[in-house]
Chains A and B, each alone.
Chain A
Amino acid sequence: MLKKYLGKRVLYLSLTLVLSVYITIIIANAGGMIDDILSAQIKYDITTNLARSPGWSQLPEAEKVRLITERFTSAIHAKGLDKPFLERTFIYLWDALTLKLGRSMFITSASGTKQISVIILERLPRTILLFTTGTIAYSILGLVIGLRMARSPGSLFDRITTFFAIITQAIPPWFFGIIFILLFAYQLRLVPFGGMVSVPPPSDPLNYAIDILFHMALPLFTWIFSMFGSWAYITRNLTMQSSQEDFVTVARAKGLSERMIMRRYVLRPSLPPIVTSISLSLIASWQGAIITETVFGWPGLGSLYFQAISILDAPVIIGLTVVYAYLLVATIFILDIVYGLIDPRIRVEMGQ
């Protein structure tokens, strides 16, 4: 059952991925953006290649131009750039899906290459480091607090946390980020105001790790601060719904301990819908990373986005959008697996 369920999800998510990448291509190329980028890069490649070949400088100018144009047209033809718009978009779609993202215009990776896939791969782990840590931390915190709220609805603790949840739900993390940076970094000088490591970075690995943690403290705190409230609130509502079910009353009548009731009868049926609602907020926060990372100067995918926007590096923007499409689909897939594992309707049949 899990296999069948996951197979269906993989098929569906692959279709979604193809669609989002295709929309990316259409948006980018409706104004001929990708066409221009590609032909400029092909031309550049041909010219530099020819210039390196022996005897090139002795050739007359007209001959040079003729050779370049000739190779250019054949390269364009080989690549399929002279085909009609619709056909071209499918060529680009395949390139994008196989992550052949081409070269950037200005941005280089730390190793000095302009290959967009290399640049993005260099940044991806940093984004994942920050956001996975944050997500795990706030989900645990939110779950614990939400269960506590559900135990005594209407109490002072419940009301205060609900109030907090309403406000933090309406205000995005990057916004708290700006205020916290102002407060903790500039006024109180407790934490660095941006970046991932000090300049120059510490040389031995232990200090390096500590340095990263030090820089991660504020973004992580902000992330958890702004997310855990709404998760606690969702958990509270869902567990309260299931704790009103008859089987909970029966369990209580049987004399089971509150702890046992909570774990077996209340939390278990509430988990699948909690995962569903969290998957939506995760998608929002992945995209919010573009601004959050920019605010904190965290050198991940998000600030790469910002960098590319500010110097108008179109190939990087397109490449990043493609990677984002992958990232969102991958996130949903992972949550689908989690869902499959905790939803008894799917899991139980798998065990048989």
Chain B
Amino acid sequence: MSLSRELKDLSQALLTSKSGKIGIIILTIVFGISIFAVIYVPFDVVSKWNEPTFWQKNPRTVAPQWSTFLLNKELPPTINVASDEFNKNEYFVTTSSLKYVTLETLITYDYDAFPSELSAIIYANYTEQGPLAIITLERPDGTEAVLYRNILTNPVNRLYISSDRDIRNNVKSFLINLGVETSRTIYPEICLFAIKNEDMLDTRKARVLKGFYRIRIEVIAAEESDTAEAEFQIYGQVYGFAGTDSNRRDLFIGLIWGAPVALAFGLSAAIVTSVIQSLLGAISAWYGGLVDEVIQRVTETYMILPFLPFLIMISIFYKVDIWFLILIIVALSLFGGVTKTARSVTFQIMNEQYIEAAESYGASKRRILFLYIMPRLLPYIVANIVLAVPAYVFLEAALSVLGLGDPMVPTWGKMISDAYSGGAAVHGYWWWILLPALLVMITASAFAFIGYALDKVVNPRLRER
């Protein structure tokens, strides 16, 4: 009975059983995602994930891009007009001593749904007097809406076209000029892109006016050296592979970063607790007598302790991060079910002849334990590790839902809990809940499948007739 044979048996069992194969395939993919996440994501997610300004150019809570195929409807992606995409025209009129800067861009809007939001940034470079800025939207039907006309007082002017009250009033007067009834609430992102009729204010009945839209930003400044740049965002209704959350964060990045965090958390907790519990079980059986009695009683007591309430109390009363949490979990699961199985397996091993042989040539008790008994327990330990991983992955998720997880690291549990508290269920933001939930479920099932296959080897009594 050598160590390598035991492990070979295990891996063979894995590759021959169907559930083992499924589990291995899924797990390989999840490992692949983890490696991809660590290599591909070009920044330190931990610091950027909770920084709202970093995600400003993404639309808020929109579905993944591929949902257009499901809906069979061309939903708009986000159109970002960067400053160098504007056609810039500047000239200085000496007679009036005014500097004119005109920024123009043409956008093709051929989608079946309205944008989710509009915003613009004007960067004004002026010496003393703030320049006058005018933003005009020229629609495919020839009508023109002046969105903004004001003196700029800052070098950087962020204009929230969808929510700014002055801009809404400008849009209102544009609608009045068109002869449209304006008693409803005005959503600029809808009526500016709607076919001109009496329904253009109705969020349900308005229809998209497709075609070329021209955005013109005119800046009139006092000095010849003054100049201006602009950016324009037409936020869409779909984004990336996984959509965004209410903080405009790209969920895809959170999802793939959740993989290494979940694996690291689940595996490290499972490995440490399983190894310690098995060792204690082996010690209990091997040394026997008082040691056995004590370890058995402590194990039984440990199994009745209110584990989760303790964990909650510790993480509330002493603020902890995710790695300290693992330490506590290990401390709270030094003894457990594995101690019992390891003990009974050790009893079987102890009766074998090679142990007797080792004793007879004078090997010390400790030597026999670590060199002859523990290796034999390895298959059980491996099976228990694999079976325990899902529990720890979900434990982390549960703590996140209770608001006790590490707030800095994007984990799957954290995303689900954010979605839940962000009302994703009420508003039907399915991707926000379902994608992380699906990933957790798939990962957990992969471990469960492998664990099931291994369990049949280490507990032969479970084998079918």
Residues of B contacting A: mostly: helix
Residues of A within 8 A of B402 (CB): 290-291, 294, 306, 309
Chain A residue contacts of B425, Cβ below 8 A: 178, 181-182, 185-186, 193
Bound CA span A127–B436, Å: 29
How many angstroms from the CA of A250 to the CA of B402 in the assembled complex?
55
Bound CA–CA A288/B300 (angstroms): 20
A85 on the B face (CB < 8 A) = no
* Given known A-B contacts A178-B437, A193-B425, A309 and B308 have beta carbons under 8 A apart: no
Kindly provide the distance from the CB of A252 to the nearest chain B CB, expressed in whole angstroms.
14
**Is B308 within 8 A of A290, CB to CB?**
yes
Note all chain B residues with C-beta closer than 8 A to A328: 304-306
Contacts A171-B390, A171-B394, A171-B441 given; does A16 touch B313 at CB 8 Å: no
**Closest chain A CB from B400 CB (angstroms):** 10
Contact among B19, B307, B403 with A287 in the assembled complex (CB-CB below 8 Å) = B307
Residues of chain A within 8 A of B357, CB atoms compared: none
In angstroms, Cα B462 to Cα A154, docked, is 12
Q: Summarize A's interface: helix, strand, loop or mixed.
A: helix
Tell me if A291 and B448 are in contact (CB < 8 A): no
- Whether B312 and A290, one on each chain, are in contact in the complex, defined by CB atoms closer than 8 angstroms, is yes
Q: Is B464 an interface residue (CB 8 A)?
A: yes
Q: Which residues of A in the span 282-330 have a Cβ within 8 Å of any Cβ on B?
A: 283, 287-288, 290-291, 294-295, 305-306, 309-310, 312, 314, 317-318, 320-321, 324-325, 328-329
The count of residues in chain A whose C-beta lies closer than 8 Å to any C-beta of chain B is 60
Residues of B within 8 A of A39 (CB): none
State which residues 20-57 of A face B: CB under 8 Å: 20, 23-24, 27-28, 30-31, 33
* B426 in contact (CB, < 8 A): yes
Contacts of A318 in B (CB 8 A): 313
- Docked complex Cα distance between A240 and B461 (Å): 9
B461 to chain A, nearest CB (A): 6
Contact B394 A27 (CB under 8 A): no
Q: How far is the CA of A154 from the CA of B464 in the complex (A)?
A: 7
Residues of B close to A115: CB separation below 8 A: none
Q: Could you tell me if A329 and B401 are in contact, using CB atoms closer than 8 angstroms?
A: no
Return A313 CB to nearest CB of chain B, in Å: 10
Q: CB within 8 A of A312: which of B303, B304, B316, B428?
A: B316
- B428: chain A residues at CB < 8 Å are 186-187
Question: What is the CB-to-nearest-CB distance from A118 to chain B, in angstroms, rounded to a whole number?
Answer: 20
Does B403 lie within 8 Å of A241, measured CB to CB? Answer: no
Say whether B401 contacts A291, CB under 8 Å.
Answer: yes
Q: Does A348 contact B (CB under 8 A)?
A: no
Residues of B within 8 A of A33 (CB): 317
When the two chains form their complex, are residues B312 and A20 in contact, meaning their CB atoms are under 8 A apart? no
Q: Are B304 and A287 in contact (CB under 8 A)?
A: no
Interface membership of chain B positions 208-244, coded 1 if the CB is closer than 8 angstroms to chain A and 0 otherwise: 0000000000000000000000000000000000000
A314-B317 contact in complex given A171-B444, A241-B461, C-beta closer than 8 Å: yes
Contact indicator B465/A175 (Cβ below 8 Å):
no
Given that A166-B452, A241-B461 are contacting pairs, would A291 and B398 also be in contact in the complex, using a CB cutoff of 8 Å?
yes
A181 to B437, CA, bound (A): 13
A290 adjacent to B318 (CB under 8 Å): no
B314 adjacent to A27 (CB under 8 Å) = yes
Task: Give the residues from 197 to 220 in chain A that come closer than 8 angstroms, CB to CB, to chain B.
Answer: none
Q: Give A283 to B462 CA distance when docked, in angstroms.
A: 24
Nearest chain B residue, comparing its CB with the CB of A324: B306
Contact across chains for B316 and A179 when beta carbons are under 8 A apart: no
Taken together as a complex, chains A and B put the C-alpha atoms of A16 and B304 apart, in Å, by 8
Q: Contact flags (1/0) for B411-433 with A, using CB distance below 8 Å?
A: 00000100010000110101001
Q: Is B440 at the interface (CB under 8 A from chain A)?
A: yes
**Given A27-B314, A171-B390, CB of A332 within 8 Å of CB of B304:** yes
B369 CB–A CB distance under 8 Å:
no
Answer whether residue B445 sits at the interface, using C-beta atoms and an 8 A cutoff: yes
Rounded to whole angstroms, the CA-CA distance of A344 and B300 in the bound complex is: 23
Given A178-B420, A241-B461, A280-B337, does the pair A23, B317 have CB atoms closer than 8 Å? no
Verify if B301 is at the interface (C-beta below 8 Å from A): yes
Q: Is A6 an interface residue (CB 8 A)?
A: no
In this assembly, does A110 line the interface, its C-beta being within 8 Å of a C-beta of chain B? no
Q: Tell me, yes or no, whether A174 is within 8 Å of chain B by CB.
A: yes
Q: Could you tell me if B404 and A309 are in contact, using CB atoms closer than 8 angstroms?
A: yes
B444 touches A283 (CB 8 A): no
Interface string of B372-409 (1 = CB under 8 A from A): 00000000000000000011001001100111100000
Q: Is A350 an interface residue (CB 8 A)?
A: no
Task: Choose from A16, A167, A244, A306 the contact partner of B445 (Cβ within 8 Å).
Answer: A167
A237 to B461 alpha-carbon distance, docked (Å) = 8
Q: Which residues of B contact A23 (CB under 8 A)?
A: 305, 310
Other CB < 8 Å A-B pairs besides A12-B297, A12-B300, A182-B434, 14 of them?
A19-B305, A20-B304, A28-B317, A166-B19, A171-B445, A178-B416, A178-B433, A240-B465, A291-B398, A294-B402, A309-B404, A320-B309, A325-B305, A328-B306
In the A-B complex, the 4 residue pairs with the smallest Cβ-Cβ separation, listed nearest first, are A170-B448, A287-B308, A170-B390, A324-B306
Please list 20 pairs of residues, one from A and one from B, whose beta carbons are closer than 8 Å in the complex, sorted by A's number: A13-B304, A24-B313, A28-B317, A167-B448, A170-B447, A175-B440, A175-B441, A178-B433, A179-B437, A186-B428, A187-B428, A193-B425, A240-B465, A244-B465, A291-B402, A294-B402, A312-B316, A320-B309, A321-B313, A328-B306
